[in-house]
Structures are given as C-alpha cells and as structure tokens.
Amino acid sequence: MNNSKPRLIILSDLWGRERSGWLDFYAPVLDQKFRCEYFDCCELGDVRKDDYTQEALHRQFVDGGIERAAKKLSETVTEKVYVLAFSVGGAVAWRSVFLGLDCAGLFAVSSTRLRYEKELFPVKTSLYFGSEDPYCPDEDWAERTGTSLRVISGGGHALYMEEKFASKIAEEILEADLVGDLPKA
C-alpha cells in the first residue's frame, strides 16, 4: 500500500456489502491515485439486514440509521480523507462532515436524500445523478448548497451500478478539481 496516496473512503448504498459487486467497476481506476477503503453504511448505522428489502432498509436509515452511521464514521475516521458515496452513503457523508469528519472533497453518486439538505456545504463537492433519476436536485439547490451538479444523460438512479457509467464517473473523479493536488501515478 502506498501511504503517499490520499485516502478515499467509499460509502455503500443502502444494500451494503452484499450487493456491492459493481464496485469492481471503480476500483481499478481509483486505485491509481487513492488508498481506497470501503464502509458498509448498514454496518455503520446499525441497520439490520434480516428483512433485506429496499423498503425495510430505507425505513431504518430514515429512522435514525443515517445519523448513527454519520456519527460512527466521524468518530472512526480521524485523518483527512476524500469520500466517494453512493445513494444513502451521500447523506451519511454529508452529515458526517457537520459532525467533524475532516473531508478534503466529497463525490456523491445518486444521493437523492441530499435534496432535503438546506445548508451551505463547507466541502468541495461533486454530485453525479442520472438524467432519468426523478429525485435529482435542481441547479438552484446545487447553487444554494455550494455543490457542483453533474447530470449524466440516460442514467437512472442505479446508474452507478452500470459499468458504462461507473467507469466514466471514476475517470471524472480523477480529473476533478477536488483532486487537483493528487500525486501523479
């Protein structure tokens, strides 16, 4: 492991580790410049997986799981990091920053719950959404919160699970202004 590489925390979607095979689309690209570390948002938020349905998991996140996960992440990660978060992981990352997570930059993909946030976000942020995602925030919201919004044509909410979109997002992360100070590979 090259410790001169910046650390990138990857936060899961609501499915957690069990349905995260799509991360293989990101790892080869991101490993070029980052020390990647994966966190299962269900584990962070003490979300039970005995009823492994979207409705049951979503309900647990909304009913305190996001806050528990954010608190645990902010207490666990003590060095400056970049964060790549998927779906509910974006809400966890956002709240973690306000709880003290030392975040150099946030990349959030399909993080639809962020549209409920109202505060100016104190960290450089790039958001990625599919043009077919009905919960994508609008440009006014992005401007009010100080975030950069990238809407990807043809993608739905789960675009991050599709290789054609995933590889494009991973490449854009390496080129983003947020990581302009990264060491050359």
Q: What is the full per-residue pLDDT of the chain (185 aa) written as tens digits?
A: 446 899 999 999 999 999 999 999 998 899 999 999 999 999 999 999 999 999 999 999 999 999 999 999 999 999 999 999 999 999 999 999 999 999 999 999 999 999 999 999 999 999 999 999 999 999 999 999 999 999 999 999 999 999 999 999 999 998 876 665 443 33
Domain that holds residue 12: 7-179
What is the secondary structure of the chain as a DSSP string?
--TTSPEEEEE--TTGGGG-GGGGGTHHHHTTT-EEEEE-HHHHTT---SS-SHHHHHHHIIIIIHHHHHHHHHHH--S-EEEEEETHHHHHHHHHHHTT--EEEEEEES-GGGGG--SPPSS-EEEEEETT-TTPPPHHHHHHHT-EEEEETT--GGGGGSHHHHHHHHHHHHHSGGGTTPPP-
Structural domain includes residue 1: no
Whether 38 is in a domain gets the answer: yes
In a domain, 86, yes or no: yes
Question: Quick check: is 184 in a domain?
Answer: no
- Looking at the domain assignment, is residue 2 inside a domain? no
pTM for the model stands at: 0.93
Count up the domains in the chain and report the number: 1
The CATH number for 77's domain is 3.40.50.1820
Judge whether 155 lies within some domain: yes
Residue 163 belongs to a domain:
yes
Is 114 domain-assigned? yes
